[in-house]
Structure 1
């Protein structure tokens, strides 16, 4: 069943892509998520179509690097011409892809750089252009903390961990801890200590993009919690934090009957007047519950 769903995804998205019969599209962040998914699909199915498609996606992504704003992957193909700012949404997934491809394909190169070099140069652009080094704040706009989204922090953590595991350079691990600690301290609802992103909102169908961002953070946050090199004090704090989020979601932000549906907010019931169960909220909540199940399986939570 799951393999068939992967096969259907491969064919369906490619056919419905507005570029027609290709995985390439206008948005480099979207190609980044597809690139990660295709690499995982290859591992899960050994379907060699994913080897080719993931390679093509990565090549197209590297073509998004320009000198505008000092480097980095742009958001979409016309971004530089329109003066659109670059950010972590395109660069975080790209750095993770580069690092993982280096492990799998160490001889592969694009544009004169091997995959490790790509991972490092993308990471360095994020670190020195989209973080406050002294505090660990990850931002989209320096003067607007509303846009300090969980999505960005999560993929930054993911890239830092990948590079640490490859190089052994502790600076990457320290970076991951610093941005994580900042995020779970400042980007939460102060009354409940639960993650929140500015702009999350109820909505039918797929819901608002922001509703997914907490789940993306959780996906990489748990990798940090699981990492054997994480100091005990940090692990204890992080486990306490994620457990509190999961308890609020289950007790206050979940409709349990007739079907399980998760709220866009993890600490409150949206009420009958609001829409339950948009796709992005469902994915985000599921990632949190999946993370808790993983931690329970490893004996880290009761």
Structure 2
């Protein structure tokens, strides 16, 4: 394990399966607590963002500091790790300033750490930088970040994967061949690989990510109860079952499930979630001797994604909200951030490590996200056909409907705008569901187009009394409609709202 300021010797985990009765309860709570999520993010930035220092390259580099008092730049992997928390905050509140903050931090990261990260012997360090970069690409559209992620993912995989212990990625290249292959170095590579695949459809990276997962599942994951081992060493599986690694496998398994639809991945993710929540039925508390004062964000992010992407929000949201409230109620009020132990009040004075405070930002962000946020298949209530981009990346291609098959052409990313409208972006192409030319004409077939923020790419989404959704375009005011046809290839059109089943949609 690493010992950067003892930061890899703490942690936290989770929970209680409570059930809500109505799907609309969670959005109401979002409205009550969105201000808290904003306050935690703004406080974190105020406490830890440094913009006035000059890097060794004589270039002003914004970065996140080690602590409130220690204004040195957080180390390579820590910097990348915390940028992912900033990215979570952006995905809850798509403010232009937050998007710019992500660009500033990633640009500064590249300036400071160069473009080839092979100088760092720790493969999990590289994985976290890849995750920060590829998420930054998705959020900003800057292809430099995607290229950085792809190049360095391949570099670390090529040096880190071998047949020792039957496969898997070494944690440290300076400990080969006597070191370990652990969750820290394997699960994050799966997560990064899935992000990359969704961005560029590189089937080779997806195949390697599945192989990494398969090794981890067979060596360091208990498929009977959802617990994990820290890693695999010359003596075999070892190390404690800690929340950081539990959260990582939830994220990894769910990411593969959303891409492949393979039930095993869903079952693994759910098993790990239930293990965490039985271990921590109320509040995710410090899990010593494990990973110390950071890492709870992996559990919160993983459970939130799993719940939102699989229509299980009502099952898991109460536990997330319980932790979110505990973090807020025990916060340090000058910055509205908390240390990692939410059962205890955070001291109101003195120093506080940025890595320890990050989880309080993430838990606020992922708990207050609208449950619609994330990846969904959209099927028509009348016919069961799914909205499909035709498996094309051509800009302007017409959008159709097709029998539900679990493919990426039928997966759409829902992200919310500051005006509460929604962007609906194809996982396959990365292009937005679009009303061509902002047409107000009944019967116009929808297309896909590069994301541009136009009102013809924004959609209102409103749940109906039967649990289905009305989806209508901001520019035209017309509702998505299945054109009263049930054949594969049926056009997806817009039409004046009538409330009939051909205009009602199920999000899966």
Query: Structure 1 residue 4: deviation in Å?
Result: 4.6
Residue equivalent to 2:306: 224
Measure, in 1, the Cα distance between the counterparts of 2:341 and 2:208: 36
Residue equivalent to 2:254: 161
> Is the 8 Å Cα contact of residues 332 and 346 (structure 2) preserved in structure 1?
no
- Give aligned pairs, total: 271
Q: 2:124 aligns with which of 29, 35, 40?
A: 29
Measure, in 1, the Cα distance between the counterparts of 2:365 and 2:346: 22
> Is the 8 Å Cα contact of residues 136 and 145 (structure 2) preserved in structure 1?
yes
Q: Deviations over 1:97-123 (max 9, x none)?
A: 222323333345xxxxx1221121111
Q: 1:185 aligns with which of 270, 278, 282?
A: 278
Q: 2:284 aligns with which of 192, 195, 213?
A: 195
Q: 1:289 aligns with which of 356, 360, 364?
A: 364
Change (3 A) 1:129 1:104: same
Residue equivalent to 1:269: 345
Residue equivalent to 1:86: 181
Change (3 A) 1:50 1:241: same
> Is the 8 Å Cα contact of residues 32 and 93 (structure 1) preserved in structure 2?
yes
Change (3 A) 1:293 1:115: same
Change (3 A) 1:4 1:100: closer
Query: Structure 1 residue 130: deviation in Å?
Result: 0.8
Q: Deviations over 1:46-79 (max 9, x none)?
A: 2222232111111112111122222111112223
Measure, in 2, the Cα distance between the counterparts of 1:149 and 1:275: 28
> Is the 8 Å Cα contact of residues 28 and 61 (structure 1) preserved in structure 2?
yes
TM-score of the superposed pair, with normalisation by structure 1? 0.80
> Is the 8 Å Cα contact of residues 115 and 148 (structure 2) preserved in structure 1?
no
Query: Structure 1 residue 297: deviation in Å?
Result: 7.9
Measure, in 1, the Cα distance between the counterparts of 2:371 and 2:222: 34
Alignment of 1:234-245 (within 5 A): 235-245=313-323
Measure, in 2, the Cα distance between the counterparts of 1:53 and 1:229: 33
Query: Structure 1 residue 246: deviation in Å?
Result: 1.6
Residue equivalent to 1:259: 335
TM-score of the superposed pair, with normalisation by structure 2? 0.49
> Is the 8 Å Cα contact of residues 146 and 196 (structure 2) preserved in structure 1?
no
Q: Deviations over 1:168-190 (max 9, x none)?
A: 2111101110011011211x3x7
Instruction: Give secondary structure in 2 for the equivalent of 1:254.
Output: coil
Q: 2:168 aligns with which of 72, 92, 105?
A: 72
Q: Does 1:174 align with 2:267?
A: yes
Higher helix fraction (1 or 2): 1
Change (3 A) 1:153 1:118: same
Measure, in 2, the Cα distance between the counterparts of 1:292 and 1:229: 15
> Is the 8 Å Cα contact of residues 138 and 199 (structure 2) preserved in structure 1?
no
Change (3 A) 1:296 1:178: closer
Residue equivalent to 2:327: 249
After TM superposition, the structure 1 stretch with the greater mean CA deviation from structure 2, 125-134 or 157-166, is 157-166
Q: 2:195 aligns with which of 97, 100, 105?
A: 100
Q: 2:105 aligns with which of 9, 12, 26?
A: 9
* Structure 2 residues not aligned, in runs of 5+: 1-96, 232-236, 374-461, 463-508
Q: Considering only CA atoms, is the larger Rg found in Structure 1 or Structure 2?
A: 2
Q: Deviations over 1:204-237 (max 9, x none)?
A: xxxx96322101221111011112354xxxx544
Residue equivalent to 2:505: none
Higher strand fraction (1 or 2): 2
Higher relative contact order (CA 8 A, sep 6+): 2
What RMSD over aligned residues (CA atoms) do the two structures have, in Å?
2.7
